[in-house]
Amino acid sequence: MSRALLLSFSPHGKAAQTFRLARALLREQAPEAQVTERDYGGQALPPLTREYASALTTPGGLSGPATERSEQLIVELEACDLLIICTPVHNFTLPAALKCWIDHVVRIHRSFTVSPQFEKVGLLKDRRTFVLVSSGNSRKSREPDFLSPYLQAILATVGIHTVRFVYLGAMVRGEAAVQRSLAQAHEQLSRAFDRQTGGHATISAGA
Ligand SMILES: Cc1cc2nc3c(=O)[nH]c(=O)nc-3n(C[C@H](O)[C@H](O)[C@H](O)COP(=O)(O)O)c2cc1C
């Protein structure tokens, strides 16, 4: 039985369109999956503490209460073989809630290490990952995208390489545009879900 971790980083939490779509998809495509749902957008993780920052940057400081939250989030991530991240675009990039999760999860000597050549090397096993990205603008706009390349790079840093991005654009352009985006994303996701392809891929939905 597969274990899915479904994360929302929208201020709308589990009511976000991306989250509801991901839930529906899991119900249809993996009804047997054991699903853990987390709302880190509506109920934000605590900001990093001074103790945590010191622990990460002090040799030998990587255990104890300062890293407890980080440990809990990494263990939760390690337990899944299917990861679904639901996130809006905020000001051309990822929302602060998602950055906070990353800062807890990307931890030296735990989820990544550094090679003698000073390259970061992931310590987590790769797992199938979908990133559902909701935005007000369409992908056809000329707006810069600082979310996708960053997220792809930081997930790779911890060892997660099999990532598919699915874009739900034009989500502020009225009900018809929202429904169109959702329907396109649903169809494309269903097909992508079936295919066990690896590597980075992008799927756009919405005008
Ligand atoms: C603070 C903030 C910043 C936003 N910045 C952008 C942006 O840069 N580009 C964009 O296309 N949409 C932007 N939006 C619109 C959201 O991405 C869009 O409404 C999205 O569908 C929200 O998804 P959600 O309901 O899952 O949170 C922004 C929304 C908020 C609240």
**Ligand 1 atom 1 nearest Cα:** 90
Which residues sit opposite 144 in a β-bridge?
none
Instruction: Check pocket membership of 92 for ligand 1, CB cut-off 6 A.
Output: yes
Backbone angles phi, psi at 117, to 5 degrees: -90, 15
Structural domains in the chain plus CATH codes: 3-205 (3.40.50.360)
Going from the Cα of 10 to the center of ligand 1, the distance in angstroms, rounded, reads 9
How far apart are the CA of 136 and the centre of ligand 1, in A? 5
Is 138 within 8 Å of 169 (Cβ atoms)? Answer: yes
Per-residue pLDDT of the chain (207 residues; tens, 9 = 90+): 789 999 999 999 999 999 999 999 999 999 999 999 999 999 989 999 999 999 888 877 667 788 999 999 999 999 999 999 999 999 999 999 999 999 999 999 999 999 999 999 999 999 999 999 999 999 888 899 999 999 999 999 999 999 999 999 999 999 999 999 999 999 989 998 876 544 445 555 554
* Closest to 103 in 3D by CA, of 146, 40, 166, 149: 40
Which residue has the CA at smallest separation from atom 15 of ligand 1?
Answer: 136
Report which DSSP code applies to 163.
Answer: E
State the Cα–Cα distance between residues 139 and 197, nearest whole angstrom: 23
DSSP string for residues in 6-66: EEE-STTGGGSHHHHHHHHHHHHH-TT-EEEEEETTTSPPPPPPHHHHHHHHSTT--SSGG
What pLDDT digit, counting tens, does each position of 116-159 carry?
999 999 999 999 999 999 999 998 888 999 999 999 999 999 99
The residue nearest atom 7 of ligand 1, judged by CA position, is: 91
Confidence (pLDDT) at 197: 41
Task: Check residue 198 and give its pLDDT.
Answer: 41
- Rounded to the nearest whole angstrom, what is the distance from the C-alpha of residue 169 to the centroid of ligand 1? 10
pLDDT of residue 184: 95
Please give the model's pTM, rounded to 2 decimal places: 0.94
Contact indicator for 205, 166 with CB cutoff of 8 Å: yes
Confirm or reject: Cβ of 12 under 6 Å from ligand 1. Answer: yes
| pLDDT value, residue 140 | 85
